[in-house]
Structure 1
């Protein structure tokens, strides 16, 4: 316990020169979370429609979560469609049928017609949109995994400067030393969790409970810690390990659909995407939104298992490299 406490405090003291860069990355992560909450509301809207009629508003269709309907006695200029101020103009024919004018294709026209008749209609071939919870996790995932590499700077420096050999030779607990680095990494994500608490208290819909977010964030962060620790262990130069790791994180997070769903209907690419831990985590999050999480628990178990394997490999390599030479 003494090794853990001493190392943990020491890491925080060494953080001061790096404070600005860490604050900037934290700000980017927090901004991505706020953006996810905002975009979840925006993406549900399928169109901004102008209903051109002089009939009483009480007799007309109302705006819904998918159609934003404005009523006007006069048709707006055609240029408003070109400038994308509106997506379509709808007029009512003599027989009561809707007539739609839009610059978009016939599929969109048919969708608007369907929603005008029935706002709750199930659209053909429409995918279930992600909820706010999945968007928050997806938007923050890449930034959190990148931030882990910066949070393990003390471990990387100790290894590069040969301090690791002195640590393993000293009468201290090597497990406590590694645990302190992991705890430090986890503590660096408190601002993100505090933001979730603030959003919840302000009445925003954040998708999941705070306890569920805590579990998901811990799993995500432990995966990031295991991956970063493995690269820092296997690659001698910390800068090379960090650059490689961050590049892999950006690429795999994009492929996993952290920001948007990606599918090129390519068998090889789809297989690669399927085995990515980030993809399995996003799958589990989406199952959670539908209330089906525990029927698909393999996804979260897969992420935990991959993290455990990487962490154990890192520990084994470190012990062989340092402890057996003492």
Structure 2
């Protein structure tokens, strides 16, 4: 009963919090919509800008389109994805390559202009994303979005703690676990409902084959929302200020190295071992296999690992909160 009353209290308070309503009902669906439309685009050749005063016999490849330019493009053109690289002809058989790609990719592009050939094993980012599958790419983007927004939606916990309401609430017949559970339930629902509706509505309206049944999609998004909820509670318990800023940075970095967008390790065993620590890596492995036709029971290890992270973050967050309560910090 206490949990229900606490949850109702948050629903009443949310009406006075326009930022929460905007995040849950507008920001999350829009960001998910952009992720879906972007991820569902068919793979296309990556374009390289070639700056040369004597551009003849341009190299040909199924991986790249070479576009001759008279003026060197700006860094903004690379950031916005207009070009994947800018190649400058030094007129002595050498080329200067400017790109945000890896050193290995830059070397491949440089050799491409020198020899006109690309290693058979080389795959561009667009090709890799196409092979991963639309559903995997979409949920990879959504994973980062929800991790970032999960922290934003724990605002009541942060607010109650900072103005000492949290301690007054616990004086009543309400336990700390009941309060955190109600906060977790509120955050989870604010993440899951708009996320699931956004994905289903957009995929149906635009006739996008996401690669999962709606039932499986619900389960996979529930896992994301549970992870985002416990991550938000953990970060709010650990940090006293700049919570969203720090959590957003951690979310972005771990999602990148966890392979949410593209393989980060490039088959490096050491990096792969480090990156496999993050739950994102296991989640992407699981959903990619499911999208390719495997059953979820074939990924029991990844599923259990995700549950360990979810429960672990919750327990550590609860422990830290309890400790700070005893020390009088809250």
Corresponding residue for 1:119? none
Cα 1:3–1:320 change in 2 (3 A) is: farther
Question: Distance between the aligned counterparts of 1:318 and 1:236, measured in 2?
Answer: 11
- Secondary structure in 1 aligned to 2:174? coil
CA distance in 2, matches of 1:183, 1:26: 19
Q: Unmatched 5+ residue regions in structure 1?
A: 48-76, 85-101, 112-125
Give the 3 Å change call, closer, same or farther, for CA 11–173 of structure 1 in structure 2: farther
Conserved? CA contact 2:28–2:194, under 8 Å: no
TM-score by length of structure 2 reads 0.68
Cα pair 2:29 2:198 within 8 Å, conserved: no
**Structure 2 alignment gaps of length 5 or more:** 47-56, 69-111, 123-127
Please point out which of 292, 295, 300 is paired with 1:297. 300
Contact 1:3/1:176, CA 8 A, preserved across alignment? no
Name the counterpart of 1:28: 31
CA RMSD of aligned residues (A): 3.4
Verify: 1:218 aligned to 2:222, yes or no: yes
Shift of 1:173: 4.6
In 2, Cα distance between the equivalents of 1:170 and 1:110?
65
Q: How does 1:105-254 map to 2 (within 5 A)?
A: 105-107=116-118, 129-189=131-191, 190-202=193-205, 203-237=207-241, 239=242, 241-254=243-256
Q: 1:87 maps to which residue?
A: none
Contact 2:235 2:247 in 1 (8 A): yes
In structure 2, distance between residues paired with 1:257 and 1:317? 30
For 1:245 and 1:206, the matched residues in 2 are separated by: 29
Rg larger in structure: 1
Matched residue SS, 1:83? strand
Give aligned pairs, total: 261
| Corresponding residue for residue 315 of structure 2 | 312
Q: Which TM-score applies when normalising by structure 1?
A: 0.69
Equivalent residues of 1:29, 1:192 under 8 A apart: yes
Per-residue deviation at 1:248?
0.7
Q: Deviations over 1:261-316 (max 9, x none)?
A: 11244443222111110111101111112333422321121011111011012222
Q: Could you say which residue in structure 1 is the equivalent of 2:259?
A: 257
Aligned partner of residue 314 in structure 1, secondary structure = helix
Note the alpha carbon deviations across 1:133-192, whole angstroms, 9 max, x for none.
101101211111101111111111111222111111112354442232222222223222
* Residues 313 and 127 (structure 1), Cα distance of their counterparts in 2 relative to 1, 3 Å cut: closer
